[in-house]
Amino acid sequence: MTYRVPKVNTCFKAGLLCLIIKTIFSTSKLLPVTGIADDLLALAGCVLLFCSVFKKGCRPSAYCVYFVVLALAAYTSYRMGNLRMLLIAAICVASTRQNVHRIIRFMFFYETLFLAFHVLLALATSVLGRYNFISVSGEMKYTFGFGHPNTFSCLLMNILLMWSWMNYHRLRMQHILIQILIVLFFYVFTGTRTILLSIFIFAALFVFVKKSRKDLHLLVRYLIPLAVVCHMVVIPLYIGHHPLAELVNKLLSNRIKLGGYWYAHKGLSAFGQNLMSFQAVWDDVWQMSGSLTFDNIYTCLAINFGMVWLAVLCVLFYRISFLRDVKVNLFLVMWALYGVTEVHGVNPVMLFPLLLLTCDVRENPAKETALVPDHAANTMKTI
């Protein structure tokens, strides 16, 4: 079986490649892309993706929807003080009508290439005396040259999921076992529990859908609203020192505590808010100080990005569930579950299933007669 190197021969691919490079190396401690270089990559990626949108030849109504989404994303980015939401929206809008299988093959090749290079560089620098360890809750973890081991683990999980997507119909349990062994090997170094739990959940769900032929559409339809409601209930209970909420917080490694702190000090936001310079001040109640993260997509969206995007996400998941596509639903469920304990998945470059909400997901798409895929058109109309 031959594998062709994906060509960078369109505005969309060039823009996506810019954002892949930005995403991976902006979190690197070995080859950090920061400052002007980071801004230039973001700008180039945005411009190229915008160009690809205008070259689609869409109906005026589709352009109106794109404009509203991008304008709202730009406003959110302005309120957040960074380009994160605009870049995410640019990728998702530009990928509308694009065949997801080609996009995933493209992302898989370049992300695997860059991550493998980064891992080899980290190992080489470790041999030379730079050990790339950080202390997390008193435990030493190997970062593979990134700022945090969770970043490496999310990129690794994304690559494993993309490989599984590309080989889904030939995927067998022995392939899943090999993936589990790969995760176990890297877990020894990173100690990242999220990827370890996720790969076992993926194995269990894969066996379930293969044996039962269930399509998981109810999970896709209701999992995110259920997760949001649970967090919105558990967080106030934790603030009130409810024992059940404290147990959930312990099981989720202080994710509820983090969400509770953000909720108590910054509250919910409709269209996003700037938290970049926020520093926690130590007190006897929360016992936290310095820069904090969310480690949960749902609290991050509700507090940092804005409730409007959480609502959009719920609507898109709800609409696509009616496709009753087993493969699509499996990977969307994985995205939703990974987001319970990690926030990296909000970027589709870090966790690809988000793209399934806007791309053409047909296995063998015929020559397109519609300007926008049916399910994409339906979902975009609801925004």
Asked if the structure places residue 293 within a domain, the reply is no
Q: What is the pLDDT along the chain (383 residues), one digit of tens a residue?
A: 456 788 898 999 999 999 999 999 999 999 998 889 999 999 999 999 999 988 877 788 888 999 999 999 999 999 999 999 999 999 999 998 888 999 999 999 999 999 999 999 999 999 888 778 887 777 889 999 999 999 999 999 999 999 999 999 999 999 999 999 999 999 999 999 999 999 999 999 999 998 888 889 999 999 999 998 888 889 888 888 888 888 988 888 888 888 888 888 899 999 999 998 888 888 777 778 788 888 899 999 999 999 999 999 999 999 999 999 999 999 999 999 999 989 999 999 999 999 999 887 766 654 433 333 444 444 433 33
Q: Mark out the alpha helices in 217-341 (DSSP H runs).
A: 217-239, 243-251, 255-265, 297-300, 307-320, 326-338
If we measure between CA atoms, which residue out of 113, 298, 329 comes closest to residue 213?
329
Q: What is the pLDDT of residue 365?
A: 52
Give me 161's structure tokens. Answer: 């999921």
Asked if the structure places residue 329 within a domain, the reply is yes
Give me 154's structure tokens. Answer: 């999310």
Asked if the structure places residue 68 within a domain, the reply is yes
Token match 């559409």: residue?
Answer: 217
Q: What is the pLDDT of residue 172?
A: 93
Q: What is the pLDDT of residue 299?
A: 92
Asked if the structure places residue 133 within a domain, the reply is yes
State how far the Cα of 361 lies from the Cα of 101, in Å rounded to an integer: 7
Q: What is the pLDDT of residue 383?
A: 34
Asked if the structure places residue 4 within a domain, the reply is no
The dihedrals phi and psi of 372, each to the nearest 5 degrees, come to -135, 135
Ranges of beta strands (E only) in the chain are 133-136, 139-142
Q: How many domains does the chain have?
A: 1
Asked if the structure places residue 274 within a domain, the reply is no
Q: What is the pLDDT of residue 373?
A: 40
Asked if the structure places residue 289 within a domain, the reply is no
Asked if the structure places residue 271 within a domain, the reply is no
Which range marks the domain in which residue 172 is found?
11-218+308-381
Q: What is the pLDDT of residue 272?
A: 94
Neighbouring CB atoms inside 10 A of 206's CB total: 19
Give me 252's structure tokens. Answer: 């989720």
